[in-house]
Amino acid sequence: MIVRTWRGRAALGKASAYAEHFRHKVLPELKSIAGFQGATLLREDRAADSEFLVLTRWANLEAVRAFAGQALQHAVMEPEAVAALLNFDPTVQHYELVLEYQRPL
């Protein structure tokens, strides 16, 4: 499994706008891609802004290419996301998932 990571920063008053954009626009698109395994949206509110860390999980790099195209390292940014953010990383990182543990419920 491949984990794709990306960070963006929003003004405190616009952080909810980015979270809603991710929930209602990005996630439905991701769900439609074969090989998409899941997503995690993390948020840290700081003194001057809110930082988001997005983790998406993919079956393999071919599945990532179906989303990102051939330029795998470039962030995929829609105008609504750009409008909600102060700044963002223009590139992403890809990691091979080696181990994941979740305590049983």
Q: Which residues does residue 51 pair with via DSSP β-bridges, in sequence order?
A: 9, 44
Looking up tokens 């809110």 gives: 50
Entry pTM? 0.91
Looking up tokens 């090989």 gives: 35
DSSP 60-85: SHHHHHHHH-S-TTB----HHHHHH-
N- to C-terminal Cα separation, the chain: 23
Nearest to 6 by CA among 17, 22, 20: 22
Q: CB of 93 within 8 A of CB of 15?
A: no
Give residue 77's pLDDT: 86
Give residue 30's pLDDT: 96
Looking up tokens 């890809």 gives: 94
Give residue 14's pLDDT: 87
Give residue 46's pLDDT: 95
From first to last of the 105 residues of the chain, give the pLDDT tens digit: 999 999 999 999 889 999 999 999 999 999 999 999 999 999 999 999 999 999 999 999 999 999 999 999 999 988 888 888 999 999 999 999 999 999 998
Give residue 49's pLDDT: 96
In three-state secondary structure terms, 19 is: helix
Give residue 54's pLDDT: 98
CATH architecture of 2-96: 2-Layer Sandwich (3.30)
Domain residue spans in the chain?
2-96
